[in-house]
């Protein structure tokens, strides 16, 4: 097993129970890296439990409103991304910088009353599906996706070199769709649809349509580089709201 397999593999005793970290305006994808700054006591407790155990946290997306009236927890999207803590530093007492790597997409089956200050849920892990019927056309689909991606990223030496590396490399279509989906500024609704689709061919086709729709144009944004793919060029720590 290589280093990447070790990071992305779920524990053998994984039973579907996950710790939920709900945040607004954030959709994590497998293969992407997300920096977090954790300081609320309940999430510090969640972090401590994760660090002492499987190192897993499920990033979920707040959808707004309550699930069941006054006093209920805020609503979250049904699809989440399991992330593994790959780096942790306590920067001062009660404040932690964490680097989380997305490892698997999952669907919430039901939330659990686990007697903890943070939310937990039972989830169904969604493995990537490569339909046999799409095998013949998958290479062309990958080319179409990278061509559409190349049309929206800035024309620069770095971005074009990284695009060339993606085109020439051995990275599969599934990881490529997830990295592009995470990196580009699509709407939260669009990202959640991409996260929720475990059919790789279907997900790639949706992404091609999004890229060709004209909703994303980074040509004028000199700050964006394809080298940011999988890193997410953003404020660290990112802004938080009560959730």
**Highest-pLDDT range among 45-49, 68-72, 131-135, 154-158:** 45-49
User: Does 161 score more than 70 pLDDT?
Assistant: no
* 11 & 66 share domain: yes
The single-letter DSSP state of residue 48 is: H
Is the Cβ–Cβ distance between 191 and 46 less than 8 Å? no
Which ranges of 97-187 does DSSP label H, i.e. alpha helix? 138-152, 157-168, 173-183
Last residue of a domain, one of 109, 126, 143: 126
Last residue of a domain, one of 126, 151, 175: 126
Is the Cβ–Cβ distance between 240 and 44 less than 8 Å? no
Rounded to 5°, angle at Cα 159 from 153 and 161: 135
Asked whether residue 167 is assigned to any structural domain, the reply reads: yes
Domain containing 148 equals: 132-228
Spatial separation of the C-alpha atoms in residues 231 and 102, rounded to whole Å: 11
| Number of structural domains found in the chain | 2
- pTM for the full predicted model: 0.84
> Which of the four pLDDT bands, split at 50, 70 and 90, describes residue 6?
low
What are φ and ψ of residue 163, in 5° steps? -65, -45
* 97 & 142 share domain: no
């Amino acid at each position: 097993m290589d280093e990447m397999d070790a990071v992305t593999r779920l524990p053998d005793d994984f039973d579907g129970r996950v710790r939920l970290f709900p945040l607004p305006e954030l959709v994590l994808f497998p293969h992407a890296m997300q920096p977090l700054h954790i300081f609320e006591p309940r999430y510090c407790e969640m972090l401590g439990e994760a660090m002492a155990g499987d190192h897993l946290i499920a990033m979920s997306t707040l959808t707004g409103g309550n699930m069941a009236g006054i006093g209920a927890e805020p609503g979250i999207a049904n699809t989440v991304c399991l992330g593994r803590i790959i780096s942790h530093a306590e920067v001062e007492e009660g404040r932690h910088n964490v680097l989380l790597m997305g490892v698997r997409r999952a669907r919430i089956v039901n939330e659990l009353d686990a007697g903890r200050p943070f939310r937990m849920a039972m989830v169904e892990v969604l493995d990537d599906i490569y339909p046999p019927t799409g095998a013949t056309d998958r290479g062309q689909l990958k080319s179409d996706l990278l061509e559409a991606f190349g049309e929206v990223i800035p024309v620069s030496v770095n971005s074009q070199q990284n695009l060339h590396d993606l085109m020439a490399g051995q990275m599969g279509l599934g990881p490529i769709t997830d990295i592009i989906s995470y990196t580009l500024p699509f709407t939260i609704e669009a990202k959640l649809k991409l996260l929720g689709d475990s059919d790789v061919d279907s997900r790639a086709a949706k992404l091609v349509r999004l890229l060709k729709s004209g909703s994303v144009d980074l040509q004028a944004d000199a700050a964006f580089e394809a080298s940011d793919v999988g890193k997410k060029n953003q404020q660290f720590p990112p802004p938080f709201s009560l959730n």
